Structure 1
Amino acid sequence: MLQGIVARRALLGDGAWHDTSIAFANGLIDTLGGPAPAGALDCGDYLVLPGIVDLHGDAFERQILPRPEAAFPLPLALADTDRQLVANGITTAFHGITWSWEGGLRGRENAIGIRTALARLKPRLAADHRIHLRWETHNLDAVDEIADWLATGHIDLLAFNDHLDMVQARLGDDGKLRKYAERAGLSLAEFRALVARVEARADEVPAAIATLAGHARAAGVAMASHDDDTRAERECFQALGCTISEFPRTAEATAAARALGSPTVFGAPNVVRGGSHCGAP
């Protein structure tokens, strides 16, 4: 059994990087900074981190649907996801399950299926799996059911998402729109008709957001706004008790979040890449 490791870049409890040794005893960390145990693994310049908590992960979608019309059974896909998580040092995963008006991969049936499969698989999974429900705010038909999920403890983090504008911007481009239609299991004509029906109920969205925010507060569930663009948008969500700003898209929204004391969430891949994949500052 491995007795310890030597690390030049270990992240410790003070939040700083250390050149140190870590000794184990009975499978647990025993001492830090003492003499390196015999046979200790030299980690070189690799990062030595505590278990990573992934607050927003949707990689499981690739395991479920690696390409259109090639879906894998949920238990198999989620077990594969679990192995990938722990292999990359992620010990707690908040799965970003999208419950959208689109249907298909991001529809009601899939959200229920993932939640049910994770509950059944729990004794066999290595990571701690949580539900980060990404509610598309124009999905008004799901409000009552999501409120029930909140009341019964099935949601660990609720995010308010609105990607309708992104879809609208692609309505005139069959090539770009096809990705959304295929994910929903619809033809291009059917998907455009669906978007029109969703647009027609836009006036009902603010009240629905306030309703679900109230249910989340009552259940003690943390909330995040997604893709904030303006200070006013962040302040509006903050007033509803939605204190996390996830992926703010402008410097204005980010500054507003910081001024309000709201934690901001950014994508780890973008940190590694050195910038946003969508061009946000």
Structure 2
Amino acid sequence: MTAETILANAMLVLPGETLRGQIRMVDGLITDIAPGSGVPAGAIDCGGDLVMPGLIELHTDNLERHIEPRPKVNWPHAAAIIAHDAELASVGITTVFDALRVGSVVSNAKANYGEYARALADEILGLRDEGVLKISHYLHLRAEICSETLIEELDKFGPADRIGIVSLMDHTPGDRQFRDLKQLEKYVIGKHGISPADFEVHVATQQALKARNGAAHEAAAVAAARRYGAVLASHDDTDPAHVARSAEHGAHFAEFPTTEDAARACAKHQIKVMMGAPNLIRGGSHSGNVAASTLAEADLLDIVSSDYVPSSLLSAALMLGDLWGDTARGIATVTEAPAAAAGLADRGHLAPDARADVIRVTRIGTAGAVRGVWVRGSRVS
């Protein structure tokens, strides 16, 4: 049987424009787009709601929150993955790159964090293959340069693992995101409850670890991305020298550059800039880095990630549309632009023959409420 859905009398968010019209989805693909406010028999009357591509999330820590809902409280992984998947679907995200850390520290009892990515990836991929998950899941390996086991953990993955992104994560105290040690001290002591003396030991240990392993780990992560067929991303670039190195490695996009200078250098090297939706919505970075709105106003913002608040993705895109006076441009930061950055040509836009990942949204003031989500033409929320 042919499965058909028509969304009519909608404001369609198309590449570069919005248009009152209707969209027809058949057997998982968009087949027709037509202008007008008419509602054919059997169609869903959207009453002027926005109809846009499903949102694409390149970097989210949301799964971690479901797996460890309280500090040191481990939740059953299958239940956590299913809940994470359902939450993303409910806020209009139809494709996600689940961020998993690779690279651990196992020798320091007070700062120990162990390996988990391979086992959790197997669970995500297993649930996907069983058809349990509502939306499309890819893997995003966050390669911790300042670690002890990165190379061994990277070697446990391969081209069959659906790894879409490898990001170069350098969390060395005194550098990049953590260049302000006072800010880092407040964060680490608040999160882990350690003493100031233990924090000093942590800083010295991590800096020594970077000096010992940093160059080899960075080279291994770049090589692994090529081996997997994954897109490479940089993370927390702070100055033009960081960006130049990212460009040498072949980075497609930069996650959360911390300064305007770094963002401008990204534009010079044709590296797309991704910023966090919470930064935009809250009016600034919680760690004192450049505000997403500053980059947006300077035309230096290309992609938005929900980071740690899934519902923020849609709100941020609508805010950007209002800021720029161009709804289609704002929505493109969470649809067309991330799809292009991740090499997904079949989604992120409304057009004939594109994958029918589509959402319906009602504007409520400056925000939006998701009223329907279709993945490959089937309604999932």
What does the per-residue CA deviation read over 1:64-107, in whole Å, with 9 as the maximum and x for residues that have no partner?
11221332111100000111112222121101112354679x94
Please name the residue that 1:134 is paired with: 142
**Counterparts of 1:190 and 1:73, CA distance in 2:** 31
1:155 to 163, 166, 169: 163
Displacement of 1:9: 3.2
Structure 1: tracts of 5 or more residues without a match: none
- Larger RCO, structures 1/2 (Cα 8 Å, 6+ apart): 2
- Give, in whole Å, the separation in 2 of the partners of 1:132 and 1:139: 18
Deviation at 1:212, TM superposition (A): 2.2
Distance 1:9 1:82 in 2: 27
Pick which of 205-214 and 49-58 moved more. Answer: 205-214
Q: Judge conservation of contact 1:23–1:37 (CA < 8 Å) in 2.
A: no
Contact 1:98 1:107 in 2 (8 A): no
Name the CA shift for 1:23/1:171 in 2 (closer, same or farther; >3 Å): closer
Mapped to 2, the partners of 1:23 and 1:171 lie a distance apart of 51
Which residue of structure 2 aligns with residue 33 of structure 1? 34
CA distance in 2, matches of 1:161, 1:95: 15
The residue that corresponds to 2:376 in the other structure is: none
Q: In structure 1, how many angstroms separate the alpha carbons of the residues matched to 2:162 and 2:28? A: 32
Which residue in the other structure is 1:121 paired with? 127
Out of 16-25 and 225-234, give the one that drifted further.
16-25
- Counterpart amino acid of residue 158 in structure 1: V
Specify which of 211, 236, 246 is matched with residue 245 of structure 2.
Answer: 236
TM-score normalized by the length of structure 2: 0.62
Question: 1:216-263 deviations in whole A, cap 9, x for unaligned?
Answer: 224432111101111111111211222321111111111111111112
Distance 1:170 1:10 in 2: 44
Mapping for residues 196-275 of structure 1, pairs under 5 Å: 196-204=204-212, 205-273=214-282, 275=284
Amino acid corresponding to residue 200 of structure 1 in structure 2: A
Is the contact between residue 213 and residue 242 of structure 1 (CA under 8 Å) also seen in structure 2? Answer: no
* RMSD of aligned Cα (Å): 3.1
What is the identity, as a one-letter code, of the residue corresponding to 2:192?
A: A
Change over 3 Å in CA distance of 1:70–1:215 after alignment to 2: closer
CA 1:192 to 1:2, structure 2 compared with 1: closer, same or farther past 3 Å?
farther
Report the 3-state secondary structure (helix = DSSP H, G, I; strand = E; otherwise coil) of the residue aligned with 1:208: helix
Identity of aligned residues (%): 30
Work out the number of aligned pairs and report it: 273
Q: Is the 8 A contact 1:100 1:139 kept in 2?
A: yes
The 8 Å contact of residues 144 and 150 in structure 2, kept in 1 or not, is answered as no
Alpha-carbon distance between aligned partners in 2 of 1:3 and 1:150, rounded to the nearest angstrom: 38
Would the aligned equivalents of 1:74 and 1:113 in 2 still touch at CA under 8 Å?
no
Provide the C-alpha distance between the structure 2 equivalents of 1:27 and 1:111, rounded to a whole number of angstroms: 31
User: In 2 relative to 1, CA 170–9 (structure 1 residues): closer, same or farther, beyond 3 Å?
Assistant: same
Residue equivalent to 2:72: 69
Contact kept in structure 1, 2:7 and 2:43, CA below 8 Å: yes
Residues 113 and 218 (structure 1), Cα distance of their counterparts in 2 relative to 1, 3 Å cut: closer
Deviation per residue, 1:142-170 (Å, 9 max, x gap): 22321442466463211011223239545
**For 1:43 and 1:271, how far apart are their aligned partners in 2?**
29
Instruction: List structure 1 segments (4+ residues) > 6 angstroms apart after TM superposition.
Output: none
Q: Is the 8 A contact 2:9 2:39 kept in 1?
A: no
CA deviations on 1:142-199 (whole Å, 9 max, x unpaired) are 22321442466463211011223239545755xx4244437xxxx6577764543322
Structure 1 residue identity aligned to 2:12? A
Shift, 1:214, TM fit: 2.4
What residue identity is the alignment partner of 2:124? Answer: L
In 2: Cα distance, 1:70 partner to 1:249 partner: 32
Larger helix fraction of residues = 1
**TM-score, with structure 1 as normaliser:** 0.82
Report the Cα distance in structure 2 between the residues aligned to 1:24 and 1:172, rounded to whole angstroms: 52
Give the Cα separation in 1 of the matches to 2:78 and 2:216: 36
The answer (yes or no) to whether the contact 1:99–1:133 under 8 Å persists in 2 is yes
The match for 1:9 among 11, 36, 43 is: 11
Secondary structure of 2:16's aligned partner:
coil
The residue type paired with residue 266 of structure 2 is A
AA in 1 matched with 2:46: C
For 1:248 and 1:131, locate their aligned partners in 2 and report how far apart those are by CA, in whole Å.
22
Structure 1 window deviating more from structure 2 (36-45 vs 225-234): it is: 36-45
